[in-house]
Amino acid sequence: MGDADGKGEILHIKIADLKATAPHFHTHSTDLTKALTKLKTALSAAGSPWGDDEQGTAFHKAYGPHVKQMENAAQILAEGLASIHEAMTDMADGHIDNEELVRAMFSKITVRDGDQGK
């Protein structure tokens, strides 16, 4: 990015790279969602394996309130990965559409002999 080569270009968007990379975010989002579901199921099935003695009670007092926060954070991360996939796909498609639009606009412009260089 930037004008490192001095050609006045600002963005170097490679559509093939966007399209090749985007599915990875979807895959990892799906993987994280599955892992979160397994974790929730396993924790629910386990009940309170730490017991109700003094140590178990102390553990649950520290752990219990944060379970929902951790689950919500993991869900937000999974949704974020999915949105990156969608955004990259949209960006690639939008860039292609924009190039075609610009190309079409400029193909309609004609230069008359007397107007060159002005």
47: left (phi over 0), alpha (psi -120 to 50) or beta: left
What pLDDT digit, counting tens, does each position of 67-103 carry? 889 889 999 999 999 899 888 888 777 766 666 666 6
This prediction's pTM? 0.57
Q: What is the DSSP string of 19-46?
A: HHHHHHHHHHHHHHHHHHHHHHHHHHHH
Using CA atoms, how far apart are residues 46 and 59, in angstroms rounded to an integer?
15
User: Given CA atoms 52, 57, 63, 65 in this order, what sign does their dihedral have?
Assistant: positive
Assign 3 a pLDDT band (cuts: 50, 70, 90). very low
The whole-angstrom separation of Cα 108 and Cα 115 is 16
Percent of the chain with pLDDT over 70: 69
CATH of domain 15-106: 1.10.287.1060
